[in-house]
Amino acid sequence: MITFGSLILSFFSSYLANQRGNSPETIASYSDCIRLLINYCCNHLSITVDKLALDMISDTLILDFLDYLEKKRNNSPKTRNQRLAAIKTFFRFAARQEPTLGAVCERVCNISAKKSEHKTIQPLENYEVKEILSQPDSNTLSGARDQAILALLYNTGARVQEMIDLKISDLNMENPMQVILTGKGKKQRIVPLYSQTVEAIQHYLNLRQNAGIEHERLCLNSKNQPISRFGVAYLIRKYVSKATRKCSSLLKRTVTPHTFRHTTALHLIQSGVDITVVKEWLGHACIKTTTLYVEIDIDMKRKALQACPPPIPGLQLEKPQWKEAPILAFLHQLSKKVTLC
């Protein structure tokens, strides 16, 4: 029988990286989950790691582990479900490698995901986007970089990881102006660029060249190293805070890199772009993910309608007798007789 350790080694070094082509970030997330699970099981069973076997990890133990994540580590239901999905992926792999684990795998894969609260996505309005993008000082190197990043985020709807992985060679700043983004599973897609976005990028690159900075990555930090996810999130918070001076609607908003992605999707749909085009634009694997934005758009229209009452009062129509209960119809007839008398 294949050992637990060899299964883990093969899962991470061969299956996730080579067969599935998962990104280093995804592999790190899986690693964190499996590590937490192993530690929890060893503590619960009072054994050392070298004594733990995969068939010891029952579906009941995994359910206890998921409860531990929520209650002790304060994980949200969404994070809990992501951990469960990673565990199921590992057990399916293990069952393929060792058929005797098929029954254990089946019980684990029958664990249902927990229902999580669906939060309404609040995209930015056009005027809010314009105000945020106008904040960086494009006369400085850092300001020009920030303006290029913000313009690209809105133009492309890129995930933050796609943005920080972007290389200068991925850009075509002549007709057709476009960028190649590498998304989840190393899948690439081409997104067209506004001429204004290209101008912002070119201006930043010119300042970089004048400063003697050479690097294949587009987005660099103050140390001329690739900017991090936290760096992108920080600069967005910085310019949103500045934009609130002229745009008070941003005061109570939490704007993240993903907010720009949501905003791009909704603005494309509101502009009449076909949903299948939006799907490819954002790099969604499933059209169901994209249809969420259509539902959001309809919901916004309903709210707008409720906020704007009709110009005339509702007509007081007499309810047809055939829609009334028999006893009410009888009383209705009596009232008519009294009126006639």
Q: What residues are labeled active site?
A: 159, 184, 258, 261, 284, 293
> In the 3-class helix/strand/coil scheme, how is 90-113 assigned residue by residue?
HHHHHHHHCHHHHHHHHHHHCCCC
- Distance between CA 195 and CA 267 in Å, rounded? 18
| Residue 124, CA distances (Å) to 63, 128, 137, 213 in order | 39, 6, 22, 34
Beta strands (DSSP E) in the chain are 171-172, 178-182, 188-192
Each residue of 34-66: b (16+ CB within 10 Å) or e? bebbeebbbeeeeeeeeeeebeebebebbeebb
- Distance between CA 157 and CA 152 in Å, rounded? 8
Q: Which residue has the tokens 């897609």?
A: 189
Within 8 A by CB and 6+ apart from 102, the residues are 95
User: Helices then strands (H, E): number in the chain?
Assistant: 14, 3
- State how far Cα 173 lies from the chain centre: 28
